[in-house]
Chains A and B, each alone.
Chain A
């Protein structure tokens, strides 16, 4: 039986979709079968991020209404054999029953090693849907007070339910700024939110995560490494920290830091 992991945040735009996508790609790259569920109703963009928007015929609402079979709605990206997407409903007015969505994710988890649920922003009904369909939660935060504050509220909601695992992923952290003490570090954030830290994803200029994975050998993106560490932690229940500051320490680091500052 696979695992069902919801990616939530509270505040919008902090990187839930990016994290869900990067994690799914990294797990697929490690040989797992992964299904991404896009629950961001109306504002779907996982299909865009994965470059499969032209392949979407049916979506989650068609499956829930019985208009098609699950297998008809799942889209596979030929570049990553084990990775499938269940696209979100394209129209905002759709509202689903939490029970139906849970049933669906239970079916999916019997077919895949991992079901990763991209939750919408906010504390609302759709968050409840995402939580109902998962048994583990990743809370995404950025090193900014507004994001921490909303995350803290979501954590209170999540902790009020019975989850096997509630863990933190810090996104958009900048090693150069942390070294200069201009940005909250991972340990400060962890201290504020009191959750186990599963991963850190640095701010990256080439955050089109899909092409970073697809053209990894050419692009040599740091975020791919960070996502591989995150996937490793998920798979083997470890808490290895991706070192996002090492580049900015030592003599070479000083030069890099100053370069970053001047651009």
Chain B
């Protein structure tokens, strides 16, 4: 039986290989080494939630009707009887109530969409703070960034499809933002909606974007993203035996096939659990789209909140001056395009280009495969935290009505606070983070030079008290001394010996300034010489200290014994 099976398997393998030469592939892939770390799973979560989105999405398309044709509801849900609605909304109700398991799949789809974008963001943070975007991975950072933007697009187009009151209002806000764009705004709105808002075209158009254009692009870019991961081989955290020239870890088959494969089921399982217990987007409570009603406390999906926060924060009147201008009879709505278009574009632009910005500052052109510990790049870590604070403030402002309700605060006060905080807190966060990083680096130096505190205090004969320090082992030391120690760039002078100005000086000077900003203040790693000197100094003391400690301990015991004896005597 076993032999038969073997023969069948090898026969199949032979058949396929003779037609595809897949053998070489398998040999190349099967035992590829991947480093192990929990933070490498964040990207996997994003990938898996996308697969869940595809699976559940296919199910939903079987019942959803992307049409704005009017119908009167005649389904089983009594509250909606006879209500005029679009087929899109009616079919969403049908999926929820009349298809067994349909509501579950809707909720799985929605929850995994939220998870998808959250996972991408957290994964991006991991990549950012560990410097995994450095050469040769800059392009893959850009691919990942584009995936994030596409994720937002997928989320937004999908959110609008049920055509309920909430999503309709969301669309109307988008329409208002588009109209605010100078020159082309009104025409772009007409182009998108096929005439005046809301028209009858927008749902079918969004549907095509949501199920074909956007996911097609996402799929292609995911393939590229993973291809590049394989090509570059995964980065690894610093540690003994690891370098920029190797990769230390476990083989794809069987270890990661089992771990990563298993992890897909875990993610799916958890999404299923959340979706079966927590209702999300109960459109039957909102009702079909109607341009008139809206209620307070209605929120867009979380990933849109930051734009909403910007829109809420930007005042129409600033110190008595309008932020919407009328110039030569044309209207320029700075209160719309700045918060909804320009600031997000700048924010995203800096994120997209960050790998190059940092490369200008370091001037380093080597390949980097060992990750940074965030503390060892204080300025980058500070920038990252400042960006996170900026983003989180916007998200909070985007839900300021909920915050106000929760904490019984005045809505206007929150907004006014945020208007200041958005300028003050991110720089403060940058400064604090940088200080903390430098402090941690200093502590690392201390540790390497003087060892761990053991908590044992000894007293020398001459009366001095010293704590015994245990020197770090080779692994612990290596972790703390092996980091890139960049110094600010030095550049060639503006004029050569003949006093002729050279080309490119300004660019160089810019890079130098940038470099100073990054590396002026830094903690140098312990050098072997320093380490040697410290060990020498401590070496004696610590060996000495150890015997001292033993002595002190026995003395302690003796004292204890004596005390007990005395105590016993007293009791008698």
A binds B: no
- Give A contacts to B, CB under 8 Å: none
